[in-house]
Amino acid sequence: MDGFTALIGIAAGVAFFVCLVRKSRRDAQAKRDLIAGYTHPPSGAPSAIRRTPDRSVAPSRAMRTGWSRGTVAFTYEDSAGDITCRTVTVHSATASHLKGECHDRNAERTFRIDRIVGDVVDIESGEVLRPRSLARHFG
């Protein structure tokens, strides 16, 4: 009977280990899919608009002097409900707003954190961030 109990314990340990390995592989694949989704959105997903940069706007002082805390990419839904993919050089981040140079508009923009759809990718490190953690990350 003691041998049977030991065998059950070993089987449970192996099953637990297999579950952990599968979960870590799913998490790694989900991270790769998320990063790839910024360049190749999956079919069936709401299509994000990719605008051509507006070169007619004069660069702001922050852009001219090179203020930068990092570069991020994210999907953003504006007040009209339009969904766009944005790449932004971050100048400052608070708990409610992200301010920086939008590469798509070639202008300084302020984004509301609660309107960011999904996660944010730090372009320089490849790190996937939650929108609410941007202030800590760039603070």
Which pair of structure tokens corresponds to residue 129? 């961030």
* Per-residue pLDDT band at 127 (split at 50, 70, 90): confident
pLDDT at residue 56, as a whole number: 60
Residue 55 within a domain:
no
Q: Are strands 128-129 and 107-112 parallel, antiparallel or unpaired?
A: unpaired
Count of domains observed in the chain: 2
Residue 111 within a domain:
yes
Q: Do 66 and 16 share a structural domain? A: no
CA triplet 53, 113, 82: central angle to 5 degrees?
50
Residue 14 within a domain:
yes
Residue 6 within a domain:
yes
Cα separation, 22 vs 106, whole angstroms: 43
pLDDT at residue 97, as a whole number: 92
How much is the pTM?
0.56
The DSSP secondary-structure symbol of 69 reads S
pLDDT per position as a tens digit, 53-106? 555 656 656 555 656 788 899 999 988 888 888 999 888 888 899 999 888 888
Cα separation, 18 vs 114, whole angstroms: 37
Which pair of structure tokens corresponds to residue 100? 């920086």
pLDDT per position as a tens digit, 11-40? 777 777 776 777 777 766 666 665 555 545
Residue 15 within a domain:
yes
Range of the domain at 22: 1-37
pLDDT at residue 64, as a whole number: 59
Rg (Cα) of the chain, in Å, rounded? Answer: 21
Q: Do 68 and 134 share a structural domain? A: yes
Asked if 119 contacts 76 with a C-beta cutoff of 8 angstroms, the reply is no
pLDDT at residue 124, as a whole number: 84
Q: Do 123 and 87 share a structural domain? A: yes
